[in-house]
Amino acid sequence: MKILLTTSVIVEASSDEDGGSPRMEEISDQLLSVVKKAFSNSLDVQAVEVVSYHWLTSDDVNSGRCNVCNAWVTDRNQADALNGLREAILVNGNLVCDQCQEETKGSGKAPG
């Protein structure tokens, strides 16, 4: 069975007028290099060498901050949920990540 394993890194970077960022490109190259090197001797792991970008503060991107822990999250109930961010749901109009929902279960405190 083949499984796609992804991880995320959130970078503070400014963009140029075309939406590019030299800092983002530099970090992307470093990540690809580290992943490729880390698994170069593993026959059962293939580095795909793909980096995708999402501008988290853009109004058209499904991202926000958890109202409890302030982690970056995505609303899992929306069709455009981002892989690589913690999943969250709206609770009383606020995004609350799955981890904070679990921690408040049984505590009597309402999340969000």
pLDDT tens digits for range 55-98: 898 889 999 999 999 999 999 999 999 999 999 999 999 999 99
Please tell me the distance from the alpha carbon of residue 52 to that of residue 31, in angstroms, as a whole number.
Answer: 12
Are β-strands 72-75 and 64-65 bridged in parallel, bridged antiparallel, or unpaired? antiparallel
Least confident piece of the model among 18-22, 42-46, 70-74: 18-22
- The percentage of the chain sitting over the pLDDT mark of 90, rounded to a whole number, equals 61
What integer pLDDT is reported at residue 13 of this predicted model?
83
* b/e 54-66 (16+ beta carbons within 10 angstroms → b): bebeeeeebbbeb
Region 32-57: what's the mean pLDDT? Answer: 91
